[in-house]
Homo-oligomer: A and B are copies of this chain.
Amino acid sequence: MELSNTTQYAIRMLSYIANSHGKLQNAKELSTILTIPYKFLTKILTQLVKSEFIISIRGREGGYKLAKPASEIMVLDILNQFGDIVKENQCILGIGTCDSENKCSLHDQWVIPKEMMIKMFAQTSLENLEGDEFKI
């Protein structure tokens, strides 16, 4: 019941990149600042480039910056990209997919917190995560 390391890292990286408002950030610095293993971090950054959350500038003086406004990148998009799914119709007990006609025993208790969580992830953008008062 928690986000995967990869997803956590991705959110923190994107969050930090968003907070630098267009100034290029390079992998080496990101690695030391966020204390994420360098090689693992670059792997994730490349995925983030391919999935068009960020753009990369190669070569000396290169780095990464957001590919679109922070307000347009939702946390839910990040979760989805890394398969850390919070799908509407996914059974919390793993009994296939579900609808309210064919529900598992936890359905009635789970449906409200689930909706709440999904809604929160869907409505929260990187812009909402900005601020200097947070742990990074």
Contact = CB atoms under 8 A, between A and B. Distances in A.
A17 interface: no
Interface residues of A, number: 44
A85 B2 CA distance: 8
B3 A134 contact: no
Copies assembled: 2
A98 to B, nearest CB: 7
B1 A2 contact: yes
Contact of A124 (B95, B102, B106): B106
Interface in A105-135: 105-107, 109-110, 112-113, 116-117, 120, 124, 128-131, 133-135
Nearest to A16: B105
Interface stretch (A5-13, A42-50, A55-63): A5-13
